[in-house]
Amino acid sequence: MDLPRYDLHCHSTASDGVLSPAELLKLAHERGLEVLALTDHDTIAGFDELKTLNRNQIRIISGSEFTCQWNSRILHIVGLGIDSESAKLKKYFSHLEFLRTQRAKEIANRLIKMGLPDLFSDAENAADGGSIGRPHFARVMLEKGLVSNEQQAFKKYLGTGKKGDVKIEWPDLSETISTINESSGLSVLAHPTKYKMTFTKIREVIAAFKEFGGAGIEVSYPGVTPDQHLHLNRIAKNNQLMVSAGSDFHSPNHAWTDLGKFPPLNETENHILHRLMG
């Protein structure tokens, strides 16, 4: 069975994307997409808007990219087909909103100690009521001329291991997966090669993910190499997991991503779209 043109991982202004759900939908039309899942970080806030605007032209799948931890490693789980009305999910996301705000305050404090002005209010304004994260700080730093691009903001202040990379108690992987499952969704491990882990470690994570009730893994996304793609396909098969793919689109200004764009998949029989659309 041929798959429709789709993207199962992208961001809007409801988190750290720069396009509103309306603008994203327009771009999805321009790119000829037939299926779209909006997967903002730790929120589903853009979903209703997207649904209302869409008028059934593109099949919209509800989604979110859940930040969680496993053995003190941060992982991203894309939850797809989740029930946006689920009380459990609402409670989960409101806790995450609190956690992210607390973390943003701490990020601002750490940056002050590094000699930067207090950026909390500006970052909060940049997030505009959406899920606040490090990219909002990067954006503000660029606007204020404190860095020459956002990449530099991560390299100097916000990236892994830097002072502004504030660690907090994200939910555990098992809790995240059960929340997604109890909200009628499917859990997908996002971009497995982007956690600076060896393939041995990735296999370990995926075994735990499967045991906790995970449904699939992303095997194609910008930056994945053909070799990594084959490895991930094999791991999916060995663990009886479905495969998924998405652009992780955040902004039209990022030359390396575009909505609906990711390397072609080698195999699609066990694609999660079959389940989501079935």
Which of Mn ion, ligand AMP, none interacts with 229 (beta carbon under 5 to 8 A by kind)?
A: none
Interactions with Mn ion, residue window 38-77 (CB under 5 A):
65, 76
Give the CA dihedral 171, 172, 177, 178, nearest 10 degrees.
-80
For residue 150, state whether it binds Mn ion (rule: CB under 5 A): no
Is the Cβ of residue 121 or residue 151 nearer to ligand AMP in the bound state? 151
Is the Cβ of residue 134 or residue 231 nearer to ligand AMP in the bound state? 134
The residue sitting closest to ligand AMP, measured at its beta carbon, is 133
- The answer to whether 93 and 84 are in contact (CB under 8 A) is no
Is the Cβ of residue 1 or residue 256 nearer to ligand AMP in the bound state? 256
- The answer to whether 16 and 131 are in contact (CB under 8 A) is yes
- With 0-12 / 13-18 / 19 or more C-beta atoms within 10 angstroms meaning exposed / middle / buried, residue 34 is middle
Is the Cβ of residue 183 or residue 257 nearer to ligand AMP in the bound state? 257
Interactions with ligand AMP, residue window 238-257 (CB under 6 A):
250
Minimum distance from CB of 122 to ligand AMP (Å)? 15
For residue 102, state whether it binds ligand AMP (rule: CB under 6 A): no
- E strand residue ranges, 58-100: 59-61, 63-70, 73-80
Minimum distance from CB of 115 to ligand AMP (Å)? 21
3-state secondary structure of 35: strand
- The alpha carbon dihedral of 265, 268, 271, 273 has a sign of positive
CA proximity to 62, closest of 8, 25, 3 = 8
- Tell me which residue has tokens 């396909």: 233
Sheet with 73-80, side-by-side order of all strands: 63-70, 73-80, 186-189, 216-220, 242-245
Residue 219, CA atoms < 13 Å, CB-side half-sphere: 24
Minimum distance from CB of 154 to ligand AMP (Å)? 4
Q: Tell me, residue by residue from 196 to 235, as one string, x for binding to Mn ion by CB under 5 A and - for no binding.
A: ----------------------------------------
The binder of Mn ion chosen from 7, 16, 42, 122 (CB under 5 A): 16
Interactions with ligand AMP, residue window 47-86 (CB under 6 A):
67
- For the chain, the helix, strand and coil percentages under 3-state DSSP, each to the nearest 5: 40, 15, 45
The binder of ligand AMP chosen from 45, 64, 134, 173 (CB under 6 A): 134
Is the Cβ of residue 52 or residue 102 nearer to ligand AMP in the bound state? 102
3-state secondary structure of 254: coil
Q: Tell me, residue by residue from 4 to 43, as one string, x for binding to ligand AMP by CB under 6 A and - for no binding.
A: ------------x------------------------x--
Is the Cβ of residue 161 or residue 264 nearer to ligand AMP in the bound state? 161
Residue numbers of the site for ligand AMP (CB under 6 A)? 16, 41, 67, 133-135, 150-151, 154, 159, 250
